[in-house]
Structure 1
Amino acid sequence: MALSYTTTIASSLLHAATPSLPNKKSFWIEKEALFRIASKLTVPRNGRSSSVEFDVPFPRDYEELLDQAKKATELAWEDNKQLMEIEFPTAGLESVPGDGEGGIEMTGSMQLIREFCDRFVSPEKTTRTRIFFPEANEVKFARQSAFEGSSLKLDYLTKPSFFEDFGFVEKVKMTDRVKPEDELFLVAYPYFNVNEMLVVEELYKEAVVETARKLIIFNGELDRIRSGYYPSFFYPKLASLLKTLFPLMETVYYIHNFKGRNGGTLFRCYPGPWQVLRKVRNAYICLHQQEAMPSLKEVALDILPSV
Structure 2
Amino acid sequence: MLSATTTAFVSKVPIAFPSLPPPNPNVSTCGIKNDGQIVLQRVTESKTKSLRLRLVTNSVSEDSSASVDVDVPFPSDYFELLQQARKATELALKDNRQLMEIEFPTAGLESVPGDGEGGIEMTGSMQLIREFCEGFINPEKATRTRIFFPEASEVQFARQSAFEGASFKLDYLTKPSFFEDFGFSEKVKMADRVKPEDELFLVAYPYFNVNEMLVVEELYKEAVENTARKLIIFNGELDRIRSGYYPSFFYPKLAKLSKTLLPMMETVYYIHNFKGRNGGILFRCYPGPWKLEMSVF
TM category, shorter: 0.7 to 0.9
Q: Does 1:267 align with 2:283?
A: yes
C-alpha separation in 2, matches of 1:220 and 1:123:
26
Q: Deviations over 1:50-87 (max 9, x none)?
A: xx983211000000000000000000000010000000
Relative distance call for 1:245 and 1:148 in structure 2 (3 A) is: same
C-alpha separation in 2, matches of 1:99 and 1:166:
25
2:202 match: secondary structure: strand
Q: Deviations over 1:174-201 (max 9, x none)?
A: 0100000000000000000000000000
- Within a 5 Å distance, the mapping from 1:39-50 to structure 2 comes to none
C-alpha separation in 2, matches of 1:13 and 1:223:
23
Q: Does 1:187 align with 2:203?
A: yes
Contact 2:99 2:230 in 1 (8 A): yes
1:46, CA displacement in angstroms? 8.3
C-alpha separation in 2, matches of 1:194 and 1:81:
26
Which AA in structure 1 matches 2:91? L
Which AA in structure 2 matches 1:149? G
Hey, what does 2:246 align to over in structure 1?
230
Contact 2:57 2:291 in 1 (8 A): no
Task: Report the RMSD for the aligned CA atoms in angstroms.
Answer: 3.0
- Within a 5 Å distance, the mapping from 1:14-53 to structure 2 comes to 14-15=39-40, 25=44, 38=57
1:56 match: secondary structure: coil
Structure number with higher relative contact order (C-alpha < 8 Å, ≥ 6 residues apart): 2
Contact 2:280 2:293 in 1 (8 A): yes
C-alpha separation in 1, matches of 2:38 and 2:206:
41
Contact 2:107 2:121 in 1 (8 A): yes
1:43, CA displacement in angstroms? 8.1
1:137 match: secondary structure: helix
Contact 2:99 2:265 in 1 (8 A): yes
Relative distance call for 1:37 and 1:176 in structure 2 (3 A) is: closer
Q: Does 1:197 align with 2:231?
A: no
Could you tell me which runs of 5 or more consecutive residues in structure 1 were left unpaired when the two chains were aligned: 1-6, 19-23, 279-303
C-alpha separation in 1, matches of 2:62 and 2:237:
29
Hey, what does 1:55 align to over in structure 2?
71
C-alpha separation in 1, matches of 2:55 and 2:212:
41
The structure 1 residue matched to 2:235, chosen from 199, 219, 224, is 219
| TM-score, with structure 1 as normaliser | 0.77
Q: How many residues align?
A: 261
Hey, what does 1:291 align to over in structure 2?
none
- Within a 5 Å distance, the mapping from 1:66-105 to structure 2 comes to 66-105=82-121
1:227, CA displacement in angstroms? 1.1
C-alpha separation in 1, matches of 2:183 and 2:47:
50
The structure 2 residue matched to 1:138, chosen from 113, 130, 154, is 154
Hey, what does 2:145 align to over in structure 1?
129
1:243 match: secondary structure: coil
Which AA in structure 2 matches 1:245? L
1:155 match: secondary structure: strand
Hey, what does 2:182 align to over in structure 1?
166
C-alpha separation in 2, matches of 1:139 and 1:25:
48
C-alpha separation in 1, matches of 2:196 and 2:143:
12
1:169, CA displacement in angstroms? 1.4
The structure 1 residue matched to 2:267, chosen from 235, 251, 262, is 251
Q: Does 1:110 align with 2:143?
A: no
Which AA in structure 1 matches 2:71? D
Hey, what does 2:25 align to over in structure 1?
none
Higher alpha-carbon Rg = 1
C-alpha separation in 2, matches of 1:236 and 1:44:
28
2:116 match: secondary structure: coil
Hey, what does 1:153 align to over in structure 2?
169
| TM-score, with structure 2 as normaliser | 0.80
Relative distance call for 1:46 and 1:129 in structure 2 (3 A) is: farther
Q: Deviations over 1:246-269 (max 9, x none)?
A: 111000000110111111011111
Identity %: 75
C-alpha separation in 1, matches of 2:125 and 2:55:
31
Relative distance call for 1:53 and 1:212 in structure 2 (3 A) is: farther
